[in-house]
Structure 1
Amino acid sequence: MFRTLRRALCVAAALLLPLAGVQSARADGADEAAGAGYWHTSGRQILDAAGKPVRIAGVNWFGFETANHVVHGLWARDYKSMIDQMKSLGYNTIRMPYSDDILKPGTMPDGISHDGKNTDLRGLTSLQVLDRIVAYAGQSGLKIVLDRHRPDAAGQSALWYTASVPESTWITNLKALATRYKGNSTVIGIDLHNEPHDPACWGCGDTSRDWRLAAQRAGNAVLSANPELLIMVEGVQSYNGTNGWWGGNLMGVAQHPVQLDVPDRLVYSAHDYATSVAQQSWFSDPSFPANMPGIWDKYWGYIFKQNIAPVWLGEFGTTLQSSVDQKWLAELVKYLRSTSAYGADGFHWTFWSWNPNSGDTGGILKDDWQTVDTVKDGYLASIKAPGFDPGPGPGPGGPGDPGGGNATCSAAYTVGSDWGGGFNAEVKVTNTGTLPLKSWKVTWTWSGAQKVTNMWNASHTQNGATVTALNAAHNGSVPVGGSASFGLSGAPGGGGATGVSCTAT
């Protein structure tokens, strides 16, 4: 976004403009099953592996680029329920900002609750958490665009390098991510660097400032690691004396296009905002908002309209508190072209943001990380696009399976009845990982002298107050997201358990 540091302020926007006749959240169409495999470009369109046109219509879910080193909101919710909700609202892509910090060995996430949620993320590094998010998004039919948002968690940078994160590190890390997810078409592309701005230039020829040349170097490096990825290249702030939003000025493409070694992989990306982020001269023009299509044409829209390349509006957002912002968003949505009228032949987009804790825009979610801002979401209804078929799950040792093939599970222990002299309990085992379970065991500890007197649908051993239960022959196999149960009787009463854990293979 157009600022040096993101503010994590939970600001509730007072949204005033009701929408009449909002279109359905998911567009109908014959291309419902589009999106298979890796994608490529053809003119201004993005096509899937079968040549079907697709439209990116998604949200930004930030956090990996901050000092938390993980997407925000996992202190409030399970990551799977978050992705499920995105899908249910009709979003088909997640732009995932990150900083190079998460590629430092051993970087751990901060701000994840494991209390009844995110249990399969316990003990994982930031990169391994990203693996799990990518895996579940893919199984849910969502795509991911990785966004190198910051060189480190301290803040954004005007150029693609800093004194502490040189260009060589930037490129090495981009190639590492391209290699990590090679073969997993859930990760459809990489946004090389977020919001280049002054002194960055486009086409000036100074290799220390020319973002277009740097994007070519980095893009070709990524494609050398995985030639199937889309390369997203943002604009700059200024071109030939004309100022715009950070990353939002693509005027230089007309004379100085990005040239990649692999054809049909380039997507240009712009950012555009309203007055809740910053003022611009066009907002006070007497003809506003009728002047806005001409502004967008000048900065980035011409690339699409002249069939040069696809254009992706990687960030746009507002609190919607002012009438100017409301008019801006309504005009922008119209400019991006409705899916019902144009299908996938429109601008691609990811809204800023899913998170409510973006101080100058707010998000699709309200401050409780659960409730949808239906007014803001409603503005986007006409440009939402069909989702994609779920992709195949990653194989053993793949990105969705950090740790080399170990499946994961959780166990919930519930006392059903207790009559003082004894009790009955049920244990539910859930596959929380990305691979089917072949077998499982559950361990817990009682606080007193309780002993197992009977157990069904599992076998057990007991050592003092600690019990270990192993699956029976018929219920050891548990599919991803599935569950199995077993029961037991014990004596005396008071059979509540602590330290319940599940181990799976």
Structure 2
Amino acid sequence: MRMRRGLATAAGALLAVAASLLAAPPPAQAETRAGTGFHVGDGRLLDANGDDFVLRGVNHAHAWYPTRTPQALKDVKALGANSVRVVLATGDRWTRTEAADVAAIITECKRDRLICVLEAHDTTGYGEQSGAASLARAVDYWIGIRDVLRGQEKYVVLNLGNEPYGNSGYAAWTSDTQNAVTRMRDAGFDHTLMVDAPNWGQDWSFTMRDNAGKVFAADPDRNTVFSIHMYGVFDTAAEVNDYLNRFISQKLPIVVGEFGNDHSDGNPDEDAVMAAAQRLGVGYLGWSWSGNGGGVEYLDMATGFDASRLTDWGRRVFDGSDGIRQTAREAGVFGSGPDDGSAGGGCAVTYRLSDWGGSFNADVTVRNTAGTAVKGWQLDFAFPGEQKINHVWNARATQQGRQVRATHESWTETIPAGGTVSFGFSASSTAGTNGVPASFTLNGSVCTTS
């Protein structure tokens, strides 16, 4: 995604014509070299445990908003995401994201139990957009920060370059992508590599669709995943399903690396994207958390990076049918906590209800079952009905619809290892009956309940 996108001229007509003229890609080999991190097997993305992993997350524009990143990652995790695609800059068009900054992003992702898809954004629209960097330049960038990426194969996917061709010169996409993948392997990268389609990511020319098998075969590790961006070109369910099914039938791994609910080049069918992704077990990453400009501000999911002010698009992605809360599953590699030494996700919540029908009180106790203290916390949950918080003690709370976020006061900031904090609130209800929330997450980690 760029902040001001060129139009894919006559995209709908080209889709129909090209579909009848271009042959399906050759079958890809299903074998893979098993590694210690993410890898591809039989056309599926598998985690380090060998389990199927389906990306369910959003994009975050770190390159333009680096100070927002720690809180943004915490917020998207608390809303249910299992992954985040993070915009980095190679220094060719935007201020370079240095190695130390990348290392900090990875640490934050692991702390928040998110799989990190790192992408180099300066390649956007190469061949059409003035100043855009080539895929070769993106590989130079990855090699330049290689030391902070080594050993992170269980937690990080490398998206080589965002939308690496516009609507000019895209015939070179196949050879350039093959060369980029080969160079990455020769440089010692064992990560899963993600490659974007040309045509501003939308592949209306079917260049990626019809040459993906060749690119996959050029990877000696057979560990490449393909990413399609679905905006105005994909404005019908038929187009969405046909494109994704072409990859599935060839056992070529595919994800929807970006999509939106509206765009200057047409009205994408976001419902079809999410439904097809869920039905096919295909990952998706919505664009984008916050901070859009250049006329596409409507793609913000959170207003002003405020998780308590989700837009209609944000509520659709997180809380709608086939949305993130409903379908995301945390990566199995976080089962015993992150490897960075930070406090893990061990927690248990007791919720005691005093119910008077039209009003009620709730006493909430949060126990830290992890081995280290938690300093600074937020507890997220959803009311089962139309309840509204009126007053809170020993914590602070914000509410948006049924979603509630409680955060610590200064005197309840720390939960010792094995210890507890408690808070309470009074609330009202128009329904007359009040139930217990189905689940709670502490700093993005799901708690047990009692």
Scaled by the length of structure 1, what TM-score is found? 0.52
SS in 1 for 2:88: strand
- Equivalent residue number for residue 102 of structure 2: 130
Instruction: Say if 1:314 and 1:351, in contact at 8 Å, map to a contact too.
Output: yes
Query: Is residue 2:143 matched to residue 1:175?
Result: yes
Q: Which has the higher helix share?
A: 2
Instruction: Say if 2:178 and 2:218, in contact at 8 Å, map to a contact too.
Output: yes
Matched ranges for 1:11-160 at <5 A: 38-64=37-63, 68=64, 70-71=65-66, 74=67, 79-101=69-91, 126-151=98-123, 156-159=124-127
2:182 & 2:128 partners in 1: Cα distance?
15
How far did 1:160 drift?
10
- Equivalent residue number for residue 246 of structure 2: 302
Q: What residue identity is the alignment partner of 2:285?
A: T
- Equivalent residue number for residue 159 of structure 2: 191
Query: Is residue 2:157 matched to residue 1:217?
Result: no
1:52 & 1:149 partners in 2: Cα distance?
29
1:171 & 1:481 partners in 2: Cα distance?
44
- Equivalent residue number for residue 392 of structure 1: 339
- Equivalent residue number for residue 426 of structure 2: none
Please give the per-residue CA displacement for 1:30-81, whole angstroms capped at 9, x wherever unaligned.
Answer: xxxxxx95110112211122211111111100141xxx4x43xx3xx6x433
Distance 1:312 1:383, change over 3 A: farther
- Equivalent residue number for residue 25 of structure 1: none
Equivalent in 304, 329, 337 of residue 270 of structure 2? 329
How far did 1:2 drift?
6.2
Query: Is residue 2:224 matched to residue 1:266?
Result: yes
Matched ranges for 1:325-404 at <5 A: 325=267, 328-338=269-279, 346-358=281-293, 359-360=295-296, 361-367=298-304, 369-370=306-307, 371-373=309-311, 375-376=315-316, 377-379=318-320, 380-381=323-324, 384-388=327-331, 389=334, 390-393=337-340
1:250 & 1:3 partners in 2: Cα distance?
23
Name the Cα RMSD after superposition.
4.1
Instruction: Say if 2:127 and 2:170, in contact at 8 Å, map to a contact too.
Output: no
How far did 1:302 drift?
0.9
2:229 & 2:62 partners in 1: Cα distance?
19
2:208 & 2:326 partners in 1: Cα distance?
22
1:302 & 1:383 partners in 2: Cα distance?
26
2:128 & 2:140 partners in 1: Cα distance?
13
Instruction: Say if 1:247 and 1:271, in contact at 8 Å, map to a contact too.
Output: no
Instruction: Say if 1:365 and 1:372, in contact at 8 Å, map to a contact too.
Output: yes
2:299 & 2:278 partners in 1: Cα distance?
24
- Greater relative contact order, per chain length (Cα 8 Å cut-off, separation 6+): 1
2:288 & 2:134 partners in 1: Cα distance?
29
Distance 1:298 1:237, change over 3 A: farther
Q: What residue identity is the alignment partner of 2:119?
A: D
Distance 1:158 1:223, change over 3 A: same
- Equivalent residue number for residue 289 of structure 1: none
How far did 1:167 drift?
5.9
Identical amino acids, percent of aligned pairs? 17
How far did 1:353 drift?
0.6
How far did 1:351 drift?
0.6
The number of residue pairs the alignment matches comes to 308
5+ unaligned residues in a row in structure 1: which ranges? 7-35, 109-124, 203-209, 275-279, 284-291, 339-344, 396-429, 433-479, 484-505
Query: Is residue 2:169 matched to residue 1:200?
Result: yes
- Equivalent residue number for residue 21 of structure 1: none
Distance 1:199 1:103, change over 3 A: closer
How far did 1:184 drift?
1.8
Please give the per-residue CA displacement for 1:148-174, whole angstroms capped at 9, x wherever unaligned.
Answer: 1115xxxx3324998785665332212
Matched ranges for 1:398-437 at <5 A: none
Distance 1:381 1:56, change over 3 A: closer
2:269 & 2:85 partners in 1: Cα distance?
22
1:90 & 1:307 partners in 2: Cα distance?
31
How far did 1:356 drift?
4.6
Instruction: Say if 1:186 and 1:391, in contact at 8 Å, map to a contact too.
Output: no
1:382 & 1:141 partners in 2: Cα distance?
15
Instruction: Say if 1:181 and 1:187, in contact at 8 Å, map to a contact too.
Output: no
5+ unaligned residues in a row in structure 2: which ranges? 7-34, 343-373, 377-413, 418-450
How far did 1:261 drift?
3.7
